[in-house]
Chain A
């Protein structure tokens, strides 16, 4: 009984020589390429999602106070330090503020180095002072009011809550992520269409054998089973091959990205759960191909006779 069920599930397809069709041989390659593209799209979407979430986690509840240097001359640095201390005193202990930390000059220079080069460390340019402010969760602090009062106390100061550019960046990454997922959807749609055309070609090529099967009493689902088993085999082969190629490509990108990760761009590495999601793609493709082949055959046969 188990053997018979196994045959029905996986070995059906012997009655119709579907493997001999040129169109079905191409299906392995097409599915393989589509799974490569689909895996890369899906990985891109997941990485972008991670990047956005990372930015949100890192910058949520944070403010940066910027104190611009105002005076030139020998006492400029002293004046700036004095204004920074005044700002710290203003901020520390205010309701809703958990931590206040002034960034060291070396740290500011390091942040600016990618844009200004090593000269930013040589005091060649007047550098602002930056104060990192951590807000208490759910503080509901009135940022515009805080900004106004600080500016009254210390002219030339400004508060950046990162909201404006973070929103823009998240909108951008969201759009790219949506595009990547749309591409994945289009790839799956194209794969579905390919299976439909291949199956229809198979039906046309083997119409005599199909008619014979009907005449000896085969039900439509017996014939459909042969096509779906064939589609399952081909799409699984193509899907696994495509997944392996995509995995190699993503691993290589990860290695390359490790050395060049800068600033806010994280390295291209996927988590275990993300790899598992990618591993589901060939399975999903096989499932789609199998169902598509079945539906195509059942609909086509229903239109006959």
Chain B
């Protein structure tokens, strides 16, 4: 594996919360730039924890995590924001800010990065139109349905064109049509170079979008893409058959 091109690399990573048992141990795998992976495993296997380690919300109990080629243990605190801006996250519980409109929630990553306010509004509104929320641009999250909130969360995660997109059950609250649309959006992002990792239980999605999997079994990760030598994205035939 070419380590220089690994967006994510775990080496013997173990994780426990407090004094509890290890959620997983000796986890070693790498995800190359431009890959698309489904993160699968039984409930409680540690999918969300694994994502949290990737989006730098937690530090591992042991082992090394390299993100974009940098050892996260040695990254200076002042450099963390820049690294986090390269990562888009769709949280399982959306984590929208209650008092901000859909537009302001989606604009958050651009705003914290110091983007120009004038350009920001047009860009965000366009993305919200794309996810079907053109009539809810100024709505507060409390006025949106679960599925609409999820689409706002997805828009927020992709607005900054991240190098790595991590999504925790991004289709959990939407119908199949919207779920497919979201996956196509993520696939388009993947095509322009964004590495995508999606934690999901949605078997229909997994079988339809035959991307390689990071499968958590017995506290370890098995990368089906690495095992089979599968390409980062789906085969041409699969891609051609989508949306039909």
Which A residues are closer than 8 A to B by beta carbons? 3-4, 7, 14-15, 17, 20, 208-209, 211-219, 222, 302, 305
Contact = CB atoms under 8 A, between A and B. Distances in A.
B81 A217 contact: yes
Contacts of B160: 217
Interface residues of B, number: 27
Contacts of B56: 215
A302 B77 contact: yes
B117 A7 contact: yes
Interface string B83-123: 01100010000010111100010001101110011000000
Interface of B: 55-57, 59, 77-78, 80-82, 84-85, 89, 95, 97-100, 104, 108-109, 111-113, 116-117, 156, 160
Contacts of A214: 80-81, 84
Contacts of A216: 84-85, 89, 108-109, 112, 156
Contact of B112 (A14, A209, A217): A217
Given A17-B99, A212-B95, A217-B109, 16 more contacts: A3-B117, A4-B116, A14-B104, A15-B104, A15-B111, A17-B98, A208-B95, A209-B97, A214-B81, A214-B84, A215-B56, A217-B82, A217-B113, A218-B81, A219-B81, A305-B77
Contacts of B97: 15, 17, 209, 212
Nearest to A20: B99
30 contacts: A3-B117, A14-B100, A14-B104, A15-B100, A15-B104, A15-B108, A15-B111, A17-B97, A209-B97, A211-B57, A212-B97, A213-B108, A213-B112, A214-B81, A215-B56, A215-B89, A216-B84, A216-B85, A216-B108, A216-B109, A216-B112, A216-B156, A217-B85, A217-B113, A217-B160, A219-B81, A219-B112, A222-B112, A305-B59, A305-B77
Interface centre among B78, B100, B104, B112 (most CB of A within 10 A): B112
A57 B55 CA distance: 73
A211 B59 CA distance: 14
A221 to B, nearest CB: 10
Interface centre among A17, A215, A222, A302 (most CB of B within 10 A): A215
Contacts of A211: 57
Contacts of A14: 100, 104
A215 B89 CA distance: 8
Nearest to A17: B99
